[in-house]
Amino acid sequence: MNFVSVRIITSDVQRLVRFYGEITGMPVTMYTEDFAELATSACTLAIGSTRTLMLFGGDIARPADNHTAIIEFRVSDVDAEFERLSDTLNGVTVQKPTTMPWGNRSLLFRDPDGNLLNFFTPVTAGAIRKFDSVEAARLT
């Protein structure tokens, strides 16, 4: 089994496409007006409109109502990302870059739908080793 995707359901696909394209600096592919994907080397973030829910049988998810999940992106320098995105993250930052007890330097903020995002950089030897071994295992 392979974990390949997380999908956000939204009432405004274009708004999230613009936001995720800006914060990641990566292209977001629009397949239809109701569905887009941001593909990274590790996983894909899908963005689907509320209209796509009908394909799954109806009202099974609610946009802008997530209170449990955090979408995480490993970045090379979380402090540099915070500086680069300072205008975009103004008013939506939950926690400025902080070194967490498990060894990651973390920036927590919200997307336009209120979903939590974490940009993080492993900074302790243990955290760096952990993510380097995960990366090496994925490549084999």
50-97 confidence digits (pLDDT tens): 999 887 787 778 888 888 999 999 999 999 999 999 999 999 999 999
Dig out the tokens for 105 from the structure. Answer: 């330097």
Please state the pTM of the whole predicted model: 0.90
Pinpoint the residues of the chain covered by CATH 3.30.720.120.
1-62
Which CATH architecture is the domain 66-140 placed in?
Answer: Roll (3.10)
Pinpoint the residues of the chain covered by CATH 3.10.180.10.
66-140
Q: CA-based angle 86:89:95, to the nearest 5? A: 100
**How many C-beta atoms surround the C-beta of residue 113 within 10 A?**
18
- Which amino acid appears at position 112 of this protein? P
Which residues fall within 8 angstroms of residue 27, CB to CB, at 6 or more apart?
A: 21, 38
Which residues fall within 8 angstroms of residue 89, CB to CB, at 6 or more apart?
A: 82, 109
Query: Domain 1-62 classified CATH 2.40.50.140?
Result: no
